[in-house]
Structure 1
Amino acid sequence: MKRDSEYQNIQLLMLLVVLAMLSRLCSVEAKAQTDTVNVPGYFQSGGMEGTLNTAVTAAINDSTISNKVFKLKQFEWYVLNASITIPQGKHLTIVADEPGTTQESAPPQILWSAAGGITTLYNFNCFGDITLKNVWLLYATTAGTQTSTSLRIQESLDSIHGQHATFEGVLFDYSVRGTDGSGAVSVTSKHFRGKFTNCYFRNCADSRFENYGRAISFPFQSTGWHIDSLTFDNCTFANMGYVQNQEGGEYADFVRYNHCTFVNTMMFTLQSGWWHWLSISNSVFVNAHMMGDFPAQRLPGEQPYGGTISIDSVARFGFPVPFTDVNRHILFTHSSYEIQDWLRDYMAHGDLCFPDSAYRPHPQPMMNARALSFFDAVVNGQKVFPFMNRAQLHDYVDPGFVFAPTNRTGIKRFLYYKWCGGGR
């Protein structure tokens, strides 16, 4: 009888444990449920600005922001009248339907009010996490005035878990260099994790053809920030200054570009050579580092930067890192590089300001000799850097775009004034 009683007690205890687990699962599921908020646009609402600001603020105030999906209407404006700030520990999700082939199915634009007195420093100020899908971030006002705006990833108290940003089908348009010298996406976090899929960065330069726009960057002359991981899949970068900008000892640990297209980048496509884990595959580089190389201005022993990537030795970094050259992982494969004939001709024969041909710019090589040596160095039949590899790289191969996003007149004007004495 005693054993039967003990057995029944064990059964009861197990039942209570199961019920507790089921209750917890139900609670988690309930918390994970999301509500969709259909946000009216500018035209739909009869010309109202700030409808997205109002919807997000209401969800922040009632502590439901992380459980809401804000859905925007296609072919609409969402006019910001203030920055949207995501509190730490919260998650903002904004989506729209997949764009189609007609104007009516174009992604909704998120842009700024043209009213005075509005601070346009950040469109989204992210102390928490953000997800954007199928939206068009226009870095301008409704009057068409370009703004020095960034989507800012901020450091916050929960930074040990990192700030997360997911962008899918997002168009980053007309972003000049931010007020703080950063980019369309600005990072001031110690553990940022960014994921970009099917995104398009375009026309990232100012209207005076003076300042360069960047896709993602730390602020100019900042220190102490870091990116844990950064991935770009099937993304395009066209008509801009830099794509990824790393300066001041700030770098990203893991970086991947897969099936990406780089077209008409003015300066360093991927800066600097401080890569820890880097993978570039199935990508196309056309007219990279259009400013070119100036052999007459190089110091003895100095090499051209290269149009794709450079690789510096850890000893040249100038700051400490938790890795050595031998255990760095760099893969560059199945990609092509081309400086088109019109640009080569303009460098060599254009009506420029150089006293003679020796001072003219030259097209940047795909990579410089230092980068190639890291990939190819062999001692006694063994690779010196076993985790740095290149394969199937096609130099001087034009992909033959059906319709390239190239305004040659505008680009030549930009180059002329950068080569010959400042922007106009």
Structure 2
Amino acid sequence: MPTSLKPDAPSRDAITRLVRHDSVHKDIYQSEALFDLEMRHFFGNTWNYAGHASQIPQPGDYITLDLAGQPLLVLRDLEGQVRAFFNRCAHKGTQLFTSESGNTGGRFMRCPYHAWSFRLDGSLVGYPLKAGYEGTGLADSEAGQGLVAVPGLQVYRDFIFVRTNPGGVDFDTYFGDMRSAIDNMVDRSPSGELRIEGGVIRNTIHCNWKFYLENINDPVHPVSAHESAVRAAQAVWQPQDVSAPQPLAVEQILPFGQKYDFFEGMGGHVYPNGHSVSGTRFSIHSGYGELGDYVRDLQAALGEARAREVLQRSPQNAVLYPSLALKGSPQTIRVIRPIAVDRTVVEAWNFRTVGGPPLLLERALSYSRLVYSPMSFVAHDDVHLFESQQQGLRSRGSDWVSLHRECRPDEPAQPNEATSGTSEWLIRNQYRAWLRFMTQDMEA
């Protein structure tokens, strides 16, 4: 059994021993030394969601973000191309922009510290007191090359992904067939366009980021964890006329009250590199009301067969490991941002389905408020449990966290369909990917 990790950089061999076939060591959630290595290796080697192109529609528009300790700047240049840079001036390292979003205000970006200026493609334009740099070698130095571009950048159907370490797996290989989860969201628009609207809901949780990601693939917990939320919704709705249309809030909360056999039957699929889909057969979102002419409009845009395929597929969650979880219906996404070993920020964003009925956006906004908001009585259940896990694993009980449910010694090679919707195979798959990308560029 591995001992607890010490602050002095755990070795590759020690990290490898933290993941078993059916369980993981508690240091994965508790060790600050391991978290520091995750920021550099694991998140640097994987493709992570950075934003959506609809957030930067015009030349000069930008967004900033912190991705695993790396301040990044994503912008649209004068030719309309999306670019991503490390958000630091080539001179002294000052962040060029500290606002969450905005516009550069022109053809150049100027550092607020010493007024060094850069084109929107990152190249250096100029700086004060040029005579003082003559003959110093600045032009050939790192500083003279301008802003440093993020090594990996890919825009897939307006979803922007980055990889902060050079080399490694390319985007298409990394996501593979999981790109169909994005296709399913985008193809719900008759115009083939989604647009971020309604702002963002941010929830800071005092737990390791993996607890939240595990929970997205854990359809067993709603039966017990969300029992009180369902009872509250049932108490409000039961006295009403059963034939009356359900309000959005009731339509979205009551399905959380399904029993274990429902969640077992909904299916799941495991993909390479930690990705997964839960609810491949049906989910708690499958019973939402019809939308009338929208179906006809979608059939006209996509053809009857593709429209049927898109609308019939409403998974519980599609996880593009490690930072993004999609819900095609409703049109919402969650983004997982690790801040510290015991602190995680979760962002919930909503999409307007361009060309679709307003009800689709209303449904997304309603679901985010009900389920993801810090004031949500559903989120309260989850947050309390995540933070309880973080504290509980500090105890001197077992050093191992069980992932045994439906674990088989001959678990088939991925990708493959899970035996049931409640299999922890989807979570075990995450940790096999975690180990791979965590150690791929470490020395033995």
TM superposition score normalised by structure 2: 0.20
Q: TM-score, normalised by structure 1?
A: 0.20
- Of Structure 1 and Structure 2, the greater strand share is in 1
| Structure ID, larger Rg | 1
Greater relative contact order (Cα 8 A, min sep 6): structure 1 or 2? Answer: 2
